[in-house]
Amino acid sequence: SAVISQKPSRDICQRGTSLTIQCQVDSQVTMMFWYRQQPGQSLTLIATANQGSEATYESGFVIDKFPISRPNLTFSTLTVSNMSPEDSSIYLCSVVREVGYEQYFGPGTRLTVT
């Protein structure tokens, strides 16, 4: 398994501002991902965070809105930019130690945009 922490655990932000969410893993992992879970919905993959290169975004998500960094094998950040109330969601990071194996999830960040 993996021990994953996310900061902040929750935040309330004003429209038009940006929030950076941090994801820290207790040991090196092969892959890191960012998901969004809108209220009452399932999880949707935002992007794969690539170490040392640009993230790989899923359809419907763009770098200008959700810039992602992954400076090393244990840490990643997701920024939600120019927020609107529609961005109110839980944002989760997950990690994989080896391709093909299970993903482990962080505790999530609950974001409310007013």
Partner 1 sequence: AQTVTQSQPEMSVQEAETVTLSCTYDTSESDYYLFWYKQPPSRQMILVIRQEAYKQQNATENRFSVNFQKAAKSFSLKISDSQLGDAAMYFCAPSTIQTGANNLFFGTGTRLTVIP
Q: Interface with partner 1 by CB under 8 A: which residues?
A: 31, 33, 37, 41-45, 48, 90, 92, 94, 96, 99-105, 107-108, 110
Question: Which is closer to partner 1, CB of 83 or CB of 95?
Answer: 95
SS3 state at 78: strand
Question: Which is closer to partner 1, CB of 74 or CB of 94?
Answer: 94
Q: What dihedral do alpha carbons 71, 82, 88, 30 form, nearest 10°?
A: -10
Question: Which is closer to partner 1, CB of 30 or CB of 84?
Answer: 30
Length of the chain: 114
